[in-house]
Structures are given as structure tokens and as C-alpha cells.
Structure 1
């Protein structure tokens, strides 16, 4: 890893001119103008805003000249930049290269995959040449993590990074060491008489290493929502795709054990997460059918032609011999239902009718012998697990799209609602114990863990509740929407975001211990395997496996 300033005596005067422009135009002081911090809304002492520089054609041309003076001997290569800040710089470099008859092409890396048209995350054509990534500044390395993760998914590793200003932050230096990347900058903060306060935390290398990745080529970028989550069982990982395919992979290698393409599943395909019990896989599809497959072969055991569509995920209650799942009908009045099917035959035992399409899934409350489900009828209901008889209803202001969670020890049920609230109820009676309001719609299942509740929100935060004292104790800013349901792994809470970052949070201190960047949004919970391994899907139906590299 190299982290250095460009050495270009030929461009000394140009570099000084750019410096003077930045000093005069792009550095804003807190005593001159109110500056608001991104993380907490507090006041900033200073801010570097390079947009005036990038909107000045003479300055852009000057920066492009410095780039070519320092990089032309490295040809052939491609130049890549992350939207939006790097695009003017990338364009200027390409145009100046064309003036000098350099054969170079560009790549624009999107922060989020385009949701329609070609659905690309990389604009431009990868041609096999080395890649130089350009950007305005290099600070924590978060932007570079995104770029390098997206390139890695295509089988590429950038050779170097060129930036105007390197902040020389501890997190940025750590990233360059981990990835063995050369960072070349025109300036550092010290060139402008400034510095940042680096973290005093001791750096701990990530405990996880990627074991394998599997690209399904089945994902649709149109809907960035929870889809079919991976399920681990007996050395296999099962999940569904947007094209209506059920895929079973070998958990150690990522090779396909079997795959089944289901007919007539429409645009959404399979958003239902499988339930695996023993040697059988249960799953619903948007063709309105519930399926049971053999886990080891993918052979169909039974199919229930239930309704028009199924987006709900099944849950199995083997002591009752039943599997529970939501139905959606093209009926004018009764558009949904919650049904219990015989696990062995798929025969319907009972169904509770609902007025709206049933997207939500159920949870089994063992001590109450009940299933509890959120609905699009703007409520959560409890039904007798054996008969389907109604026990209680709790009204919400909007739909509850994802399954509740149960704390059997305390007799509590928690769920997240589209009305932007997280609720905790008495599971036996439906009486509200706590409501935590958020600033975004909630599309996830909470997690009870050791007296605490963890739940994400569309407002980009992970909320933490002390359920013994029924009070909120944390609100962690994860910088992107949190639709993935959290899981507990080795004393840490693991949760993904639509920014493609998987966070590892200490269960007690709530400190972020580790993070892994993936190329696309994470909207589902991880599946936990054996010996510390786990499996995570992106909303594009690609799956990545990680193993424990070392004990922290």
C-alpha cells in the first residue's frame, strides 16, 4: 500500500493555482457561515466544498492536466468514478485524454443500481484494462469500499486511486492497508492548514473473510424491499428469486445442488422466504401456490393451488403438524387470508379471512398456542394455532408488512409498522406495552436478544429498546434504510442496509465493531450456518458466504 502526494514538478505552477482557488473559494469556516454536521446535526468548524472548483472549466482542465502528467505512463487503463462528485472530474480527464490522443475509456459507478431500463450499477464497458478510480476527496474510505465492492462483483480490482485531497484519516489509512491500494493525491489537509481528529480506537482486523459468491442473474432492481431471505439447513442454503426460481446451494462451495423454476410467477417471482423443517422445504410464490420440496433433491412433494398471489413467508409448527402462510385473492371484498396447511399433504385445515391482500407473515407464540400476524388491514391479530379462532386484534395506523417477533420468556410480541412505529405488546392479550416512533416506514422484523429489542427503520436508523424497563436506549445512524431484519451472531447484532453495508454491532456497548460492503442493497436477514459462517443476499438475488477468519 502506498499513500502519497503526486510528484510532478512539471505541473508545479498549476498545482499552486488549484490550491489557491480551493483556499479562496472551497474552504468554508464555521465562524463565517453556519455549517451543519451530517451525523448529529451539530456545528462544524470547517467544510471543504469542491463543487465551485468542479464547475469552473479552467480549474477542471488544470486538474485533468495534473492527472495525465502523473498517470500517462501507466496506459493502457480505464478511469472510473462514483456518482455524483467524481463525474465532472472523470469527464474532464476523458476529454483531456482525447485531446492528447490517449486511448482511454470511462466508467461511472452508481451509488444505487438503476431501478429500470438496463438496471446497471456500472455505466460504461469494462474492457479488461487496469482501472484508476478518481474522486474529489479521500476520507474514511466509505466511497471507495462501495466502488471496489462493485468492481469486485464484476471480477475487477482497481489498480490505484487518484484524488484531489487526502484527509489521511485513520479509517482511510486502514482501508488502503486492507486492500493494498495506492492512493495518490494532489494535496493533503495539512496543505490547507487543517487536520482531523483521528479515532483513538485500536484497529481490529475483520473477523470474517469471503468464502464464495453466487450470482443468480435473476434479480430485478425495480423493488428495493425485503425479498426471499436465505435459509441454512444441513449444509445447504435455500432462497427464491425474482424470476420464480427456488435455488439450493452447497453451503461450503456455493455450487448449485438443485434449482426449480416455478411457472407463471409474474414480475415479483418469489419474495417468500422458505421454511425448512427436517427434510422438507416449504415456500410460496407469486403464482399463488404453496410448494413443498425435498430438501436434498428439490423433488416436489406437494403443491397447494391456493390463491392468485403469495408474497408471505411460511412458518412451520411441527408439534401441530401445520404450516402457516398468507394468501392474496382477486376478490372484491375478501382479498386476503391467513391459512394453516397440513405439513404432510398441503391440505388446508383452516383460513382466517382478511379484507386486504396479505403480505405479512406469522410468528408462533408457543405458550399461548397462537400465531400472531401483521396485516394490510392495518392491524396485528392473534389466532388460535389449531382452530384459527380469533383471540385479539391490535389496531395500527398503517399496514404491518413483515413478521412479528416473540420473546417467550417475557411473553412479549414486537413488530414494525408502515405507520413509522415500532410496537411492543403483551403477546397473550395484545395490550400495548410500548410504542417507539421513528421517522420512516418500518419494513422489517425486530429482534429480541438478552433483554433488548433491535429494530430498523426506513429513516436509516437501528433502534434499541430495553424491554425490561420498556424504554428506548439507542438510535444508531447506519446511513441507509434498514429493511433487513437483524440477527445475533457471536455476541454481535448483524444487520444490513440498502447502502449494501453489513454492520456488526456489539450487543452491549452498541459500538460498530465491523462492517462489510457488498455491491448492492441488503434487504434481508443473514442466514447463520455452522462455525461462525453466515450467508447474505442482496436485493438482486446474489448471495455471498463468509467464514470466520480469526477470533477477535
Structure 2
């Protein structure tokens, strides 16, 4: 241990180590051996920052020139210390920092500061799983690809104050020839920490099961549209796969059809205007009429469109609404398309309308007092349409006539489509928000499809859902705004497992070949064992994923959308 290492080890042991018996760390873990290192208690001290910056230049001076960057917020003070020290040493270094997710205000930036065309050293206070550094690398690599003037941008090294694991854990970095450096690791810290917390015995993590979750996917192609709307961090238009084509709406108002094999555009249809910078948030559905295939979607110009799937030629437009954010569904048996509608009328702001697929004429409509952004779900077996609304009710209607059969009141606005389980005759749904009288808790309901009677409910969820639940065997899987993926038993509401992610989740889950696939707001795309909640693959994207992925079973390709007007086509490498 040199002088710098001893200095940091003593600081951390005396001021930065916290155990659950002294201070609450997690809601449900009071084990005195449960610990956390909070380096922010040290890294805002001038003495610590000066020592840190001095050590940094002793390590990296021979690699000059370079620039330095880090992830908000822990690394901001570290980047600033290095930049200030560089001025004193007459070795000026450019600094910038990367956001965990794109800013929702102001300039909506992902990177704050100027990125120069030279190598970068990434810094952070702690290196545990390595995911924070991976996030930064993915952002910078994408920036280099998209910006011709940054062709020499590269990541030379990652540098942390404390590293939790042996180098063998970090194959992602070594595979990219990125150096890994730290002032201390847990082995170095252990004797110092034992003096203040003798119950702890900290050592570098070596178990092979703790290595980085593999990314089983490779990118086949990437499509990026124009005029991305970063202001709305909510579900937009999910892609639909059909017959080697991919269909989806964009922030620029172009409803687009891509060749699913190449990502090349086949055709697009322009929606000329919208409302409050919203154009197409509706997800398309596939419609069949008299031997032809069509694509149906709504838009914020108030119109519902039916386009020929092959050519993009318009069959009809239904024009009675003021806005449509709802995603339509289709009954081939009845020849009807159903969609939620929104109107600028007092106490008649929403509802569901059934449109004849052949003529584009209204067959029936059902009105509710408040806006209906929620999307309908159809059951042929029970001949019903179920759709939630901002009036906080789930409305269940006769699909042929529009007659109200029953409605279930919740305390939350219902923004997305419910899940219908025809086999057991139930409807599963939830709303956005939480009960302020109960710490923001929310509820997912399992109701009888005929009567609306509650069969089960799940309450271990906060802030609600903005997604459609998924049923796998007897498990309901739902993504929450509490950053968690929840699984509970359909018949009892009893929790089966819960997996916490780093950010909120708007994207609905999908099941492919007994695997669960979910994206979320920090750009993570998970493959999960749906029975256990174990993550089996983790892919990183630079933008938020707020919609579910589409899938082509013939080529085993997933189409992952981001809220930034992008589609990534990714394939499981084991099938290539």
C-alpha cells in the first residue's frame, strides 16, 4: 500500500462505510453484515479531490493528450478535479459527462460538455458490475459512428477509486483492449474496514456466477428516423412484424414500413399534423379483409388509418376523433376494427369506436367522460372488448353492439391495453400512479371476464403500470414504474419473484420460446427466465426503450425500438 492508497483506505473506513444496523440501506434488509460504500462523503472534499487528481496524473501523464469523462452524478466532481489539476500542471484536459438517460428538459442532451476527437479515460468512484462504464462506452461508440468528425474517439482506460471484483470478471473491457485501473480493491480495504466494522470481511468477488451477464445478441442493422421527440418519455408506436416487413409510427409523422431483413424503407405514409408535438403514438395492428392484408393505426391528427400492408396505399380514413393515442385491435370474425378515441368535448372526452373494416364506416360507439388513451383488447371466445380510460374504469363491452356489460373502478387512470386470458376467463390490468394514502402503492387486478368480480390482486407494486401484463403459464408478469419486473400467481395474487432494474419500465413484456424479453428506460434489454426471474442475457442501448420489441421467428430476429425514433434488429448469436 502506497501513501495514496493508505490515505483513501483510511478515509473510506472512517467516513464512507455504512452497515444496515447503523443506517437503513434497503427497505427489507436489516442484516448488520449488509453494507454499502458511499464515496460521495469523501469525493466532495477538496483534500480528497486533490489527492485523487494527483494520483490520476501520476498514472496517465505518459498517455497525454487525452480527455476525461464520467457518468452522472458520482463522476462529475472527479472529472472537475482532473480538469482543474490539468490547468495547474500545464497539461489542459477536456472534460465532459454522460447522462444516465437523455435529459427531458432544455437541450435534451445525452452528453454534457464538448466531446473532442481524441481518446477518453472514463472515471467513476466505484467499479462493481461494470455496467456504469459499459453504459458510457456504448454511448461514445454510437456517437463516434454517427459523427464523422469524431473518427478518432476511443476509450483508452477506465479508472475507479474502489474496484469490487477481480479483473477476470471484466472480460467486456479486456475484449475491447480497455485498461482497468483503480486506486484500491476490496482486498486492500478489508483490514481498514474491520477496525470500524469488525463484523464485515470484504474480499474481491471471484465466483464465476457473478461475472457480467452475457449479451447473447449481435446487431444485424440499425434504423434511425428524423426529428426524434425526446420530450415524451412514454410508450410510443411499437413495431409490428408481418411477412418480412416491419411497421411502426415515428415522431416525424411518417408511418413507416421497413424490409425486416435489411432495414431499408419500403414505403411511408405522412401524417401531416398532430397535437402538442405528438404525431403517431398508436401501435399498429394487422387487419385482413377479403384476401388482402392491411395495417391500421391512429394518430394525433384525430384520424384512424387503414393502409395496404404491401404498398402503403390508403384504403380508408376514419375522421371523427380529435386525437388518437390508442392502439387499435381487430376482429376478423366481426369484420370490425376497435380503437380508443379522444375528443375535445365536455364530459364526452373519450370512448371506444367500432369501424367496419371494409367500408371505414362507424358500426357503433361507446362514450366515456374522460379521454381514452387506453387501448382495447378483444376476445373472440367471449365476444367482448375491454378498454381502460382516464376515468379510472376498465370498460367491458359487447364487441358486436358496444353495449356496456360491466365496468370496474380503480383509483388510477388506465393508459394501456389489458391482458385477456381466454383459457381461464379473466382480464388482467392496472393503471398509472399510486395510492398517496398507501406510500404510492398500486394494484394489478385479475377480474372475471363475465362478471368483473375480482379473482385476485397484486399490491406489491409502486407508482402503477403503463404497459400490458403478460401471462406465462399461471404467472402474471408485469413491468412497473417502480423500476421492477414483477411476477405473481394469477389465481392468488401471491408474489413469485421480482427483479429490480436501474430505471422505470414502460415497455410491455413479450415471451418467445419460454424466455421473457423486456426493455426499460436505461436502455437495458433483458432476456429472463420467466419462472425464476434470473437474467440470462443483457443488451445495452444508448436510448430509453419504452415499447415492447417485435420478433421474426423465421430469422430469430428481435426488433428493439427506442423512444428516439430508432429500431435495432438484433439476433441471438447462438443461432447464427
Which position in structure 1 is the counterpart of 2:156? 159
The question of 1:254 aligning with 2:263 is answered yes
Distance 1:125-1:142 versus aligned 2 partners, 3 A rule: same
Alignment-derived partner of residue 300 in structure 2: 286
Q: CA 1:19–1:196 in structure 2 vs 1: closer, same or farther (change >3 Å)?
A: closer
Checking the alignment, whether the CA contact within 8 Å between 1:291 and 1:303 is kept in structure 2 is yes
1:152-191 residue pairs with structure 2 within 5 A? 152-154=141-143, 155=145, 157-168=154-165, 172-177=169-174, 179-191=176-188
Q: Secondary structure at the match of 1:201?
A: helix
Aligned to 1:538: 562
Q: What's 1:390 paired with? A: 404
Residues 511-542 of structure 1 show CA distances to partners (whole Å, capped at 9, x for unaligned) of: 12122222122221111113321111122222
Q: Distance in 2 between matches of 1:43 and 1:271?
A: 48
Counterparts in 2 of 1:313 and 1:168: CA distance versus 1, 3 Å? same
- State the distance in 2 between where 1:178 and 1:397 align: 51
Q: Distance in 2 between matches of 1:549 and 1:151?
A: 24
Pick aligned residue for 2:82 from 93, 105, 115: 93
- The CA deviation at 1:354 is 1.1
1:222 aligns with 2:236: no
Task: Give yes or no for contact 1:506–1:513 (8 Å, CA) kept in 2.
Answer: yes
TM value normalised by structure 2: 0.88
Picking from 22, 26, 30, the partner of 2:16 is 26
Deviations 1:481-529 (A, max 9, x none): 2221110022111112222212221122221212222212222111111
Q: Deviations over 1:133-161 (max 9, x none)?
A: 11111111121222122223313652321
Distance 2:492 2:204 in 1: 39
Residue 9 of structure 1 corresponds to which residue in structure 2?
none
1:294-333 to structure 2, matched below 5 A, reads 294-333=308-347
Residue 330 of structure 2 corresponds to residue 343 of structure 1: no
Q: Take 2:518 and 2:157, find their aligned partners in 1: how far apart are those partners?
A: 30
Distance 1:60 1:410 in 2: 62
Counterpart for residue 505 of structure 1: 528
**2:321–2:342 CA contact under 8 A, matched in 1:** yes
1:93–1:448 CA distance, 2 compared to 1 (3 A): same
**Is 2:444 the partner of 1:422?**
yes
Structure 1 distance, partners of 2:371, 2:394, is 14
* Distance in 2, Cα, partners of 1:42 & 1:220: 45
Matches within 5 A, 1:436-515: 436-437=458-459, 438-468=461-491, 471-515=494-538
Tell me if structure 1 keeps the 8 A contact 2:556–2:575.
Answer: no
CA distance in 1, matches of 2:491, 2:468: 19
Please report how far the alpha carbon of residue 289 of structure 1 lies from its aligned counterpart in structure 2 after TM superposition. Answer: 0.7
C-alpha distance in 2 between matches for 1:388 and 1:88: 60
Contact 1:170 1:199 in 2 (8 A): no
The match for 2:385 among 367, 371, 375 is 371
Q: CA deviation at 1:355?
A: 0.8
Deviation at 1:452, TM superposition (A): 1.6
Distance 1:13 1:160 in 2: 23
Greater Cα shift, 533-542 or 248-257: 248-257
After TM superposition, the structure 1 = structure 2 runs for residues 184-203 of structure 1, keeping only pairs within 5 Å, are 184-193=181-190, 194-199=202-207, 201=209
CA shift at 1:122, angstroms? 0.7
Question: C-alpha distance in 1, partners of 2:14/2:121?
Answer: 29
Select the residue among 216, 240, 245 that pairs with 1:236: 245
Q: 1:379 to 1:148 in 2, by over 3 A?
A: same
Counterpart contact for 2:169–2:206, Cα < 8 Å = no
Distance 2:359 2:43 in 1: 66
Match for residue 409 of structure 1 among 423, 447, 464: 423
Q: How many residues align?
A: 541
Contact kept? 1:35, 1:45, Cα under 8 Å = no
Residue 170 to residue 304, structure 1, CA distance change in 2 (3 Å)? farther
8 Å CA contact 1:36–1:43 kept in 2: the answer is: no
Q: CA deviation at 1:428?
A: 2.1
Measure the CA separation in 1 of the matches of 2:154 and 2:241: 30
Does the C-alpha gap of structure 1 residues 238 and 541 become closer, same or farther in structure 2, counting only changes over 3 Å?
Answer: same
**CA-CA distance at 1:462 after TM superposition:** 1.8
Partner of 1:57: 46
What is the CA-CA distance between 1:430 and the residue it aligns to? 1.7
Distance in 1, Cα, partners of 2:139 & 2:269: 28
Q: 1:22: how far off?
A: 3.4
Which residue of 1 is the match for residue 71 of structure 2?
Answer: 82
Q: Which range moves more in the overlay, 377-386 or 48-57?
A: 48-57
Matched residue, 1:138:
127
Give 5+ residue unaligned stretches, structure 1. 6-11
Tell me how far apart the structure 2 counterparts of residues 486 and 395 of structure 1 sit (CA, whole Å). 25
Going from structure 1 to structure 2, the CA distance change for 1:60 and 1:213 (only over 3 Å counts) comes to same
Cα deviation, residue 202, structure 1? 8.0
CA RMSD of aligned residues (A): 2.4
The answer (yes or no) to whether the contact 2:20–2:31 under 8 Å persists in 1 is: no
